[in-house]
Amino acid sequence: MKNKIYILAAALTALLFTSCITIGPGEVGVKVTRGVMEDRVYSPGRYNVGPNTYYIRVPIRTVNKEVKLNLPSKEGLNVNAEISILYHIQKDDVPSIIEEIGRNYEDVMILSVFRSASADICAQFYAKDMHSGKRSEIEARILHHMDSLLLDRGFIIESVLMKSISLPSGLYDAIEDKLEAEQEAQRMEFVLQRERLEAERKKIEAQGTADAQRILAEGLSESAIQWRSLEVMQNLSTSPNAKVIITDGKSPMIIGGEK
């Protein structure tokens, strides 16, 4: 009886000091026993945790980190921006990240590198560029800069998205005025191009008419007229109708005739 009590007490004590941990989908775990971290990466599942053991869970799914900050521009203005950073951690690098950087790796590495990269890149562009078609170029260059510093540390930067850009007061109106002026200039260029094409068409048409008249005039020489007159007289002479023809030897003139 006493042995059963001892066994039951031991089981309850072991149960009291032993628990379980669940590593969910999209994350991995690193086991730490008596302050020593294992190199093994634990996949999603359920694991027992002893009194001197615990697990550090780290997400390896895509993380969306939104950051609000002021960005410098090439002309020295401050642009308020809201930017999303999409990144994930390479599974095999989780132990080294925890050991070398710590659990606050996002603040230590991701955000610090992002702030430096975004400031360096945006300072090379005008404020209006952040609100125009060059936004994608700025995003790509920030991503490339971050990737060059973080890839070897186990971080994969998937995208850098400039979601919201607030330009300084008055700059919006200047940009709109410039866009309207550019559109008006494009419209005038279209009108001028159309007029140039129409003028070219009229020039070609006039040249064609002049060439036709010149060719016709060159073909109506004196000898050609006399030859045509002889052909006419020959045709009249073979006609069955009676006619009176008066001619000076150059061109015939029909006075009349009857069938």
Do 41 and 138 belong together in one domain?
no
Q: Is residue 206 part of a domain?
A: no
For residues 144 and 159, what is the distance between their CA atoms, to the nearest angstrom? Answer: 10
Both 82 and 153 in one domain: the answer is yes
**Residue 186: pLDDT band with limits 50, 70, 90:** confident
Same-domain check for residues 124 and 55:
no
Specify the long-range contacts of residues 208-214, CB closer than 8 Å, at least 24 apart.
none
Best-predicted range by mean pLDDT among 14-18, 61-65, 246-250? 61-65
Closest alpha carbon to 56 in 90, 33, 73:
33
**Could you tell me if 114 and 16 lie in one domain?**
no
Residues whose CB falls within 8 Å of the CB of residue 146, separated by 6 or more in sequence, listed in order: 85, 113, 114, 117, 157, 160
Express each pLDDT in 81-127 by its tens digit. 999 999 999 999 999 999 999 999 999 999 999 999 999 999 999 88
pLDDT digit string, tens, across residues 122-142? 999 988 888 777 889 999 999
Summary mean pLDDT of the chain: 80
Assess whether 75 and 21 both reside in one domain. no
At residue 240, the pLDDT reads 67
> CA angle, corner 56, sides to 54 and 59, nearest 5?
150
Give the CATH number, domain containing residue 130: 3.30.479.30
Q: Are residues 45 and 89 in the same domain?
A: no
* Number of domains observed in the structure of the chain: 3
Q: What is the pLDDT of residues 38-75, one digit of tens each?
A: 999 999 999 988 788 899 999 999 999 999 998 888 88
Do residues 128 and 94 share a domain? Answer: yes
- pTM of the model as a whole: 0.59
At residue 227 the predicted structure's pLDDT band, cuts being 50, 70 and 90, is low
Q: Verify that 94 and 32 share a domain, yes or no.
A: no
Domain boundary, last residue among 150, 171, 192: 171
pLDDT at 26: 93
pLDDT tier, 16 (very low <50, low <70, confident <90, very high otherwise): very low
Q: Among the three residues 136, 171, 206, which one is the final residue of a domain in this structure?
A: 171
Given a cut of 90, is residue 8 above it in pLDDT?
no
- CA nearest 233: which of 223, 244, 222? 244
Q: Is the pLDDT of residue 157 over 50?
A: yes
The predicted model gives 137-162 an average pLDDT of 94
Task: Identify whether the C-beta of residue 4 lies closer than 8 Å to the C-beta of residue 37.
Answer: no
Of 171, 204, 230, the residue that ends a domain is: 171
Q: Are residues 79 and 160 in the same domain?
A: yes
22 and 75: one domain? no
Q: Using 50, 70 and 90 to split pLDDT, how confident is the model at 205?
A: confident
Full residue range of the structural domain in which residue 19 is found: 2-59
Residue % of the chain over a pLDDT of 70: 69
